[in-house]
């Protein structure tokens, strides 16, 4: 027995690891180019010649999102053969990539329905790029949790994954609408989407924190819903009920903790009117921390 085998690294396992990492690198490369093809621009030109920071942030979000999804595809026992491992990794990776792109499309058309996200990013709008990148990462965190929840590689598995994904996108839209209503009430009916489109970076950062928090809390549902790939209605209802409960619980907890941690600070004045990026980041830290703690407790 060799030194590596003493630690469980057999030749078969090393080959499987090589297969997985090779496919992962190829998919990450594909995602980078898809960013340009989607908006009909040369990604190299935007990143290296135009120095478009907004496009870079958006691309970074997409690449990181796919990396997160791939951890859900890789995690688990090795397949029975190299071919099955390659097919499984590629199938889950491509399916995850498609869901990320679909999630971004739905987010653009439904959640951010009042702005032209792609056009604004090409023009270099950093606040829109931050929201776009975070939406992709939040979607990826959700997809990863669903991949970890699902089992085997069948058509029913993909249907179950897509069901949970659909519910997660509904939650992101509801979250966005809720944040928009609160912003409008505090700012004489002003539009949050318009403010972000006009370059309100602090507002974009704060909203990003809420999206990430929702994504992490969504992960807790996988610990309570029993995986049954053919129970289509039960899966949908289960994810829907648990997601709504988690979203409401998360919102209440975040509001309470922010009042305690950021006592005597007028967040509306500082973040929304004075564009205080530092405080916006503190809000992100609080939101994500509460979500992670809540998800850990549920696990």
**10-19, 146-155, 188-197: least confident range:** 146-155
Rounded CA-CA distance 124/201 in Å is 12
> How is residue 229 written in tokens?
């790939």
Residue 242 pLDDT: 83
Q: DSSP 3-state helix, strand, coil percentages of the chain (rounded to 5)? A: 80, 0, 20
pLDDT at residue 5, as a whole number:
54
Burial of residue 126 (CB within 10 Å: 0-12, 13-18, 19+) is middle
User: What does the pLDDT read at residue 77?
Assistant: 55
The mean predicted confidence, pLDDT, of the chain is 85
Tokens of residue 17, six digits: 């690891």
Output the six-digit token pair for 142: 């959700």
Higher-scoring residue by pLDDT: 235, 137: 137
* pLDDT of the residue at 51: 86
pLDDT, average across residues 173-194: 92
Q: Is the pLDDT of residue 85 over 90?
A: no
Positive or negative torsion for Cα 272, 277, 283, 287? positive
State the DSSP H helix or E strand holding residue 102, giving kind and residue range, or none if neither: helix 82-106
The most confident of the ranges 163-177, 231-245, 258-272 is: 258-272
Confidence check: pLDDT of 1 > 50: no
Q: Of 61-70, 138-147, 171-180, 216-225, where does mean pLDDT reach its minimum?
A: 216-225
| Residue 220 · residue 298 · CB < 8 Å | yes
pLDDT digits (tens, 9 = 90+) for 188-212: 899 999 999 999 999 999 999 999 9
Q: Is the pLDDT of residue 7 over 70?
A: no
Mean pLDDT of 252-281: 92
Q: How many CB atoms lie within 10 A of CB 152?
A: 9
pTM: 0.88
If one counts every other C-beta atom within 10 angstroms of the C-beta of residue 13, the result is: 13
pLDDT band for 6, please (50, 70, 90 cuts). Answer: low
DSSP class per residue in 185-250: HHTTT--HHHHHHTT-HHHHHHHHHHHHHHHHHHGGGGGTSPP-TT-HHHHHHHHHHHHHHHHHHH
CB 34 within 8 A of CB 62: yes
- The pLDDT, as a whole number, for residue 229 is 67
280-299 pLDDT per residue, tens: 999 999 999 999 988 888 76
List pLDDT tens digits, range 30-70: 888 888 887 778 888 888 888 889 999 999 999 999 999 88
Q: How far apart are CA 21 and CA 70, in angstroms?
A: 10
User: Distance between CA 226 and CA 204 in Å, rounded?
Assistant: 36
pLDDT tens across 94-149, in order?
888 888 888 888 888 898 988 999 899 999 999 999 999 999 999 889 888 877 77
Q: Which residue has the higher pLDDT, 263 or 225?
A: 263
Q: Is the per-residue pLDDT at 250 higher than 70?
A: yes
Mean pLDDT of 240-262: 88
**CA 99 – CA 190 distance, rounded (Å):** 32
Question: By three-state DSSP, how is residue 50 classified?
Answer: coil
Where does residue 201 rank: exposed (0-12), middle (13-18), buried (19+ CB within 10 A)? Answer: middle
- How far is Cα 209 from Cα 18, in angstroms, rounded to an integer? 35
Write out the two tokens for 250: 């998360």
End-to-end CA distance of the chain: 38
């Amino acid at each position: 027995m060799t030194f590596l085998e003493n630690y469980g690294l057999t030749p078969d396992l090393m080959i499987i690891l090589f297969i997985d990492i090779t496919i992962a690198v190829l998919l990450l490369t594909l995602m980078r180019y898809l960013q340009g093809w989607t908006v009909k621009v040369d990604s190299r030109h935007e990143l290296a010649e135009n120095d478009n920071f907004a496009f870079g942030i958006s691309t970074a979000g997409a690449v990181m999102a796919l990396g997160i999804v791939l951890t859900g595809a890789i995690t688990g026992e090795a397949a029975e053969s190299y071919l099955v491992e390659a097919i499984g990794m590629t199938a889950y990776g491509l399916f995850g990539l498609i869901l990320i792109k679909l999630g971004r499309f739905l987010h653009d058309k439904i959640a951010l329905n009042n702005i032209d996200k792609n056009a604004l990013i090409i023009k270099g709008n950093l606040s829109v790029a931050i929201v776009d990148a975070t939406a992709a990462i939040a979607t990826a965190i959700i997809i990863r949790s669903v991949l970890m929840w699902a089992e085997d590689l069948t058509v029913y598995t993909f249907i179950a994954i897509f069901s949970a994904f659909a519910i997660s996108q509904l939650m992101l839209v509801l979250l966005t609408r809720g944040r928009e209503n609160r912003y409008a009430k505090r700012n004489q009916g002003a539009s949050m989407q318009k403010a972000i489109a006009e370059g309100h970076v602090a507002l974009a950062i704060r909203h990003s924190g809420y999206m990430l928090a929702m994504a992490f809390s969504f992960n807790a549902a996988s610990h309570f819903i029993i995986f049954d790939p053919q129970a289509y209605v039960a899966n949908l209802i289960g994810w829907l009920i648990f997601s709504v409960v988690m979203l409401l619980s998360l919102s209440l907890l975040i509001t309470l903790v922010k009042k305690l941690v950021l006592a005597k600070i007028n967040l509306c004045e500082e973040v929304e009117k004075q564009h205080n990026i530092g405080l916006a980041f503190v809000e992100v830290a609080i939101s994500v921390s509460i979500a992670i703690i809540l998800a850990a407790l549920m696990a």
